[in-house]
Amino acid sequence: MPESAIQRSHRRSRNRSIATLAAPPITPGMTGGCYRPLEPAEIERIHALVLRLLADLGLSQITPSLQARAVAAGCKMDDNRRLRFPRALVEDMIARTRRKFTLHGIDPAHDIEIGGRRVHAGTGGAAPTIMDFHSGKYRESTVADLYDIARLVDRMDNIHWYHRSVVARDTETILDLDVNTTYACLSGTTKSIAVSYTDSNSVRAVIPMLDAVAGGEGEFRKRPFCTAVCCHVVPPMRFATESCDALEAAVEAGMPILLVAAGQAGATAPAALAGAVAQACAEVLAGLIPCNIIDPDCRAVFATWPFVSDLRTGAMSGGSGEQALLSAACAQMAGFYDLPNSVPAGMTDSKLPDMQAGGEKGYTISLAAHAGASMIHECAGMHGSLMGTSFESYVLDNDLIGAILRTVRGVEVTEDSLNFDVIRDVVLGEGHYLGHAQTYGRMKTDYLYPEIADRRSISEWEDAGARDAREMARDKVRHILAEHYPGHIPESVDSQLRQNFNIILPKDRMIAGNDAW
């Protein structure tokens, strides 16, 4: 018996209710790893060079404390004062390293599981400049910018953590820089944060701040929501003394560690891409081993970040096709080692949120995601080969990352998605799928809808003012930064922090209605 108009209406209403309750089309931590720029035999050859670099060349300039720990574990100091790592020790440490761990948010709702080719995306970088939102000119970045970017990231669903992305140029000392960076990040978001601590003094100084936000002395260690970013090497194949001291202090404090090796292919890493991958892997493993010696249960991230030089000028080229390949290959090597990992992507060389930026971000992030990177850093907001950032780019990149993550999820092949009856019923019935239960059921589980990208017809777009994506993103920035002031840190705790630390971000800057936006 034919379905009446009333019955069709009831069915569609029921289907809309089902779609509303359905799981979203993307979630943090979907599995990547389908893109493999390296063949298995090539991975083995790179690994062989990694082991040889560590065993036969080693790294210089190890700190006395880490040297003592490493030698006690089986490493050797050669006649040239280079610390060498025996092959068996390296492979044993790789095998013992944690395969996954929870990267905690300040709010547990933002906890994510790192490892196992589960793909996540977030910020990163150390831009010394930011495009001023009002003048459109680049200027030195400040603590207030750190806080405002954190508030933006807090509202971007596809940006999973906030690794400080600018350097606060209005601080006077190294300690003030690290303390105020931590404070601005903590205050602006409830997601996990990450800070590059300059030395061990800074690490020890911020632990009371992290404890206070966590609820009291010793509480941060139970749910560590701040990662220490440690560039523990100065490529090629040298340890960075102050950063190694920071690394040691951070591991002892129970902080997650991002072990970064950031050589630049053609300058401080081999111009041959395979060689750059091998050197980066060796340098990161040289930091991973001391971390595991200090704490076998440490939360360490294998952060191979080899960058690219434009060999005509020597300038960094973060948006190049070579950078996309390097990051994807590094993610594949981390998959071979089965280690929680990070690679850089989205570091456009463009100075504006323009076509160049969109293209360079799109293919570099996509390759890293499909290669199965656990954490893709620096993929939101960055411009000028990491030398600058812009507020509206965080909004634009949030849209882009969402679309890329949808491609990582892939095509679902199930009994329902290949349902003969669905096709038959439509072909012999209404002749379209618009009102079908499957369509309503999959409207929000299979399809992602952008916030900024415009899908209207040309005439509708023209009638609405013919505005471009950057203009739309600017509206969203204004709206968020005028209204979103996170209140997750109690006033009493904030007052305590301001009493105990030299906080330079004015209190009235953190209150709605301050007219900054």
Looking at the predicted structure, is the pLDDT value of residue 196 above 70? yes
Domain-located, residue 207: yes
pLDDT at 8: 47
pLDDT at 446: 96
Q: 131-167: per-residue pLDDT in tens? A: 999 999 999 999 999 999 999 999 999 999 999 999 9
Predicted confidence band of residue 21 (pLDDT cuts 50, 70, 90): low
Give the Cα separation of 271 and 221 in Å (integer). Answer: 41
Beta-carbon contacts of residue 438 (< 8 Å; ≥ 6 apart): 416, 419, 422
Q: 349-380: per-residue pLDDT in tens? A: 999 999 999 999 999 999 999 999 999 999 99
Q: Does the pTM exceed 0.75?
A: yes
Domain-located, residue 192: yes
Q: 80-127: per-residue pLDDT in tens? A: 999 999 999 999 999 999 999 999 999 999 999 999 999 999 999 999
Q: 314-342: per-residue pLDDT in tens? A: 999 999 999 999 999 999 999 999 999 99
The predicted model gives 216-245 an average pLDDT of 98
Say whether the peptide bond before residue 490 is cis (omega within 30 degrees of 0).
no
Domain-located, residue 476: no
Compute, in degrees rounded to 10, the torsion defined by CA atoms 100, 106, 111, 112. Answer: -60
Beta-carbon contacts of residue 28 (< 8 Å; ≥ 6 apart): 112, 118, 120, 160
Q: Look at residues 333, 371, 343, 340 and name the one whose alpha carbon lies nearest to residue 50.
A: 333
Domain-located, residue 13: no
pLDDT at 2: 47
Domain-located, residue 226: yes
pLDDT at 355: 97
pLDDT at 405: 98
Beta-carbon contacts of residue 248 (< 8 Å; ≥ 6 apart): 63, 65, 66, 200, 290, 294
Give the Cα separation of 444 and 431 in Å (integer). Answer: 22
Q: How many residues does the chain have?
A: 517
Higher pLDDT, 228 or 16: 228
Give the Cα separation of 243 and 236 in Å (integer). Answer: 16
Looking at the predicted structure, is the pLDDT value of residue 183 above 50? yes
Q: State the CATH number of the domain containing residue 145.
A: 3.20.20.480
Pairing state between β 138-140 and 129-131: antiparallel
pLDDT at 513: 81
Beta-carbon contacts of residue 102 (< 8 Å; ≥ 6 apart): 111, 112, 113, 114
Domain-located, residue 486: no
Angle between helices 469-483 and 391-409 (to 10 degrees): 110
pLDDT at 6: 39
Domain-located, residue 414: no
**Into how many domains does the chain fold?**
1
Domain-located, residue 78: no
Under DSSP, is residue 241 helix (H, G, I), strand (E, B) or coil? helix
Give the Cα separation of 33 and 118 in Å (integer). Answer: 9
Q: Print the domain residue range for 236.
A: 95-409
Q: Look at residues 187, 159, 165, 167 and name the one whose alpha carbon lies nearest to residue 395.
A: 159
Looking at the predicted structure, is the pLDDT value of residue 245 above 90? yes
Q: 296-320: per-residue pLDDT in tens? A: 999 999 999 999 999 999 999 999 9
CB 279 within 8 A of CB 234: no
Q: 402-452: per-residue pLDDT in tens? A: 999 999 999 999 999 999 999 999 999 999 999 999 999 999 999 999 999
Mark residue 103 as left, alpha or beta (left: phi above 0; alpha: psi -120 to 50; beta: remaining): beta
